[in-house]
Amino acid sequence: MKTRDWRAAVIALGGILAVTGLAMATLYAPEEKTMGDAQRIFYLHVPSAWIGFLAFGVVFVSSIAYLATRRRAFDLAAAASTEVGVVFTTLAIASGAVWGRYAWGTWWSWDPRLTTTFMLWFIYVVSLMVRAYGGTGNQPSKFAAVLGIVGFLDIPLIHLSVVWWRSLHPLPVVVRPEGFGSGLHPAMLQTLLVNLAAFTLLYVALFSIRRAQMTAMDALVTRRDESYQPAGVDLPAASLEVR
Amino acid sequence: MEANIPNTGSGRVRAIETDRVVKTFGPVRALRGVNLAVESGESLVIFGPNGAGKTTLLKIIATLSRPTSGTLRVFGSDPFADGRLRRTLGVVSHHSYLYGGLTAVENLVFAGRLYGVPDARARADALLATVGLAGRGHDLVRTFSRGMTQRLTIARALMHDPPILLLDEPYTGLDRHAAGMLTALLERLRGFRTVVMTTHSIEQGLALADRMAILVNGILAYQGTDGLHSAQAAERLYLDCVGGNGSIPREAQVPDTA
Amino acid sequence: MTAIRLLVWKDLVLELRTKEILTAMAVFSMLVAVVFGFAFSPSPDDAVRLLPGMLWVTLVFAATMGLSRSFVLEREQECLEGLRLFPIDRSAIYIGKALANLVFLFAVEVLLLPALAAISGVSLLPRLFPLLAVLVLGTIGLVAVGTLFSAMSVHTRIREVLLPVLMLPLAAPVLISGTKAMQGLLAGRLWADVLPGIRILGAFDVIFGVIGYLVFEYVLEE
């Protein structure tokens, strides 16, 4: 009961912030000079990308914890975060492409950040594949954990190599995303921050709901499976606790 | 290395001891708190239907799989902490562990060297003679028949003269001749080696058992010597544990092999 | 140390008897090189730019093939399980396997590099040693992650598909930096200009060599 209340509060707060963020993005934030209204996708794009990387960080930490302790709870946390991460990374790439269409005049450019995010998306998807088609016993979980660790450490190297690669080539044209941040209009910054907060709460809510679902599914399988009790055997507390 | 490994058959230190061993595969508990003790020199046979967790239990004792909780002791120490204890274990599983592209002698010498056997070559020749493969030592294992491969598998497991032998369904796929040879070999080792064998053939199991255990659905439902005097008694005991008609009330089977 | 030597010896003997892996990798990489030649039919100027990319793409695919084969061999009779029973440090299995795979891949490169140079008409000789340094560093990286991932993928139901899908995104730093560094060298740039790429390759080798060594045992456990 208590966890559900806590989750409901997060969802409610996240919902309010999301609506506020949307209103601010469309009504409050000023129009950007070069790109016009198309720039407003920025308030969706940046938070999505942030969640994509945040989720990957959670996968990394959970994966290490799982390999070190072999506790099922960490494996489920990594699985839940991977699923949520895929959704937001997809959103980030799609909105990035739209952004690119207006900023650079092309749907896709080998911008280091976009490329790195794209590779991140690949690693997430492969991780889902490993979980779906993995081997026997706990191997799918172990493999996904290894991938969670290797992938996380690989991301900075991918980013560095793309940066180095692009530095030998001229960048596409027009506006570079580097222009933002420092030169951001205060109203733009406020809108971005509200949206970042909304997305973060949304991530926390989705992540914990998905994790709770997975834990419940585990408990169901365990209960169905352990209906058998041989006569005269003392079971050491065969409860429903899930490891 | 040998310092902490007592002589076989001394009966002082327990060869194998598991304490509340639990193994979960995802949500499925393949072992649900197994307490097993095997004395030095004892032959224990574990019966159980498919999917009961026999292979899982044996793999844990072989340190191929880690228990989710609970502890394993081999000659009083934790083999997961000290990998050298694996030298005391000889394993015969469903698979031969042999390389088809190496000859019989090469396979044995390879295993012997990695186990730290001093004169691996001489030991390999002697074992090949024991299992009746003396003339085939320089043939590639790929050319061997099923029975010959199984005999070589047993020779490989004995290369380092392990005080403990773990046998997982060793009779599976053997013809009458090879099965007879295996029984004779195990008879000879009886009392000198600690043997843990899993099988679902009550007859073959009883021939070698000092004590029997019945594993059902991840629980050690019986341990003792009551059923050893006759096949009927063992059968009755087995059915009592498994539940009447021999079926187990379990829908999701644990992947027991591989 | 003895253990690693024995493990490598075993892989080399098995391979030299059948020559399965080497033949498959060599024939495959030659074919890819020729197909690239047809597909791009590069002019001498283009060739300098294209050759490094052709080389690395071919190598990644050849490595994927060879790596996957080397673990299928172990899987047939669950020999990996047999290796894990030996009273040796289980990480030695990773080192042994990686070293054997490194030997196979180097052998393929000895063939592939001159072949590609001949097909594209680019002379590698003036910058041979810097180019070889890049090649060696990149190959070590491919083998470091590849050995880990093929040990994983061979246990899954989609092994032939999974390994390339794992390798390509994760080996991206090797592909990108290796290609770029070689392009720079062939275009006559100074060693200092390609140093960032060399550093990335070196970091990749160290990080994933260590990670592979540390997590290999967990990968094999059920």
Q: What is the DSSP string of A100-136?
A: HHHHTSSS----HHHHHHHHHHHHHHHHHHHHHH--S
Are C155 and A123 inside 8 Å of each other by CB?
no
Count of CA atoms in the C-beta half-sphere (13 A) of C203? 16
Cβ burial A183-202 (10 Å sphere, 16+ → b, else e): eeeeebeebbebbbbbbbbb
| Cβ(A77)–Cβ(A58) below 8 Å | yes
Output helix, strand, coil percentages for chain B, rounded to the nearest 5: 35, 25, 40
Output the pTM of the full model. 0.87
B228–chain A nearest CA distance, Å: 20
- Phi (first) and psi of residue B243, to 5 degrees: 110, 85
C140–chain A nearest CA distance, Å: 15
- The answer as to whether A226 is a domain residue is no
Residue A38, exposed/middle/buried by CB under 10 A (0-12, 13-18, 19+)? middle
Task: Calculate the dihedral angle through the C-alpha atoms of C44, C113, C67, C6, rounding to the nearest 10 degrees.
Answer: -170
**Which domain CATH number covers A203?**
1.20.120
B237–chain C nearest CA distance, Å: 32
3-state secondary structure of B95: coil
Domain around C211: 2-220
Count of CA atoms in the C-beta half-sphere (13 A) of A239? 4
Are B26 and A141 inside 8 Å of each other by CB?
yes
Are A139 and C155 inside 8 Å of each other by CB?
yes
Alpha carbon distance B18, C85 (integer Å):
19
Residue C161 tokens read as 């598909």
Q: Which of B26, B220, B249 sits opposite A228 (nearest CB)?
A: B249
The rounded Cα A152 to chain-centroid distance in angstroms is 12
Residue A36, pLDDT > 80, answer no
| Cβ(C123)–Cβ(C117) below 8 Å | yes
**CB-CB neighbors (< 8 A) of C158 in chain A:** 129, 133
* Number of domains observed in the structure of chain C: 1
The single-letter code of the amino acid at B35 is N
The single-letter code of the amino acid at B194 is T
Question: Residue C176: its pLDDT value, please?
Answer: 92
Q: What is the pLDDT along chain C (222 residues), one digit of tens a residue?
A: 789 999 999 999 999 998 889 999 999 999 988 888 888 877 777 888 888 999 999 999 999 999 988 888 888 889 999 999 999 999 999 999 999 999 999 999 999 999 888 888 888 888 889 999 999 999 999 999 999 999 999 888 888 889 999 999 999 999 999 999 999 998 888 888 889 899 999 999 999 999 999 999 888 887
Query: pLDDT per residue over A52-81, tens digit each?
Result: 999 999 999 999 999 998 889 999 999 999
- What does DSSP assign to residue B94? S
Does B249 contact chain A (CB < 8 Å)? Answer: yes
| Count of C-beta atoms within a 10 Å radius of residue B171 | 18
- The answer as to whether A77 is a domain residue is yes
Q: Which of A135, A150, A165 sits opposite C145 (nearest CB)?
A: A150
Residues of B at the C interface (Cβ-Cβ below 8 Å)? 1, 25, 59, 62-66, 83-87, 89, 91, 93-102, 106, 110-111, 113-116, 156, 258
Mean of pLDDT over chain A = 81
Closest residue of chain C to B157, computed from CA coordinates: C82
Residues 6+ apart with CB under 8 A from A4: none
**CB-CB neighbors (< 8 A) of B156 in chain C:** 82
Looking up tokens 């999917």, which residue turns up? B51
Nearest to A86 by CA among A25, A128, A44, A146: A128
Question: What's the Rg (C-alpha) of chain A?
Answer: 22
Number of A/C CB contacts below 8 angstroms equals 98
Domain around A118: 2-169+184-220
Does C167 contact chain A (CB < 8 Å)? Answer: no
Least confident piece of the model among A168-177, B170-179, C197-206: A168-177
- Chains with at least 3 CB pairs less than 8 angstroms from chain A: B, C
Number of B/C CB contacts below 8 angstroms equals 76
Give every strand in the sheet of B43-47, ordered side by side: B89-92, B164-168, B194-199, B43-47, B211-216, B219-224
Alpha carbon distance C59, C61 (integer Å):
5
- The answer as to whether A230 is a domain residue is no
Residue C122 tokens read as 């680019």
* Number of domains observed in the structure of chain A: 1
| Cβ(B224)–Cβ(B210) below 8 Å | no
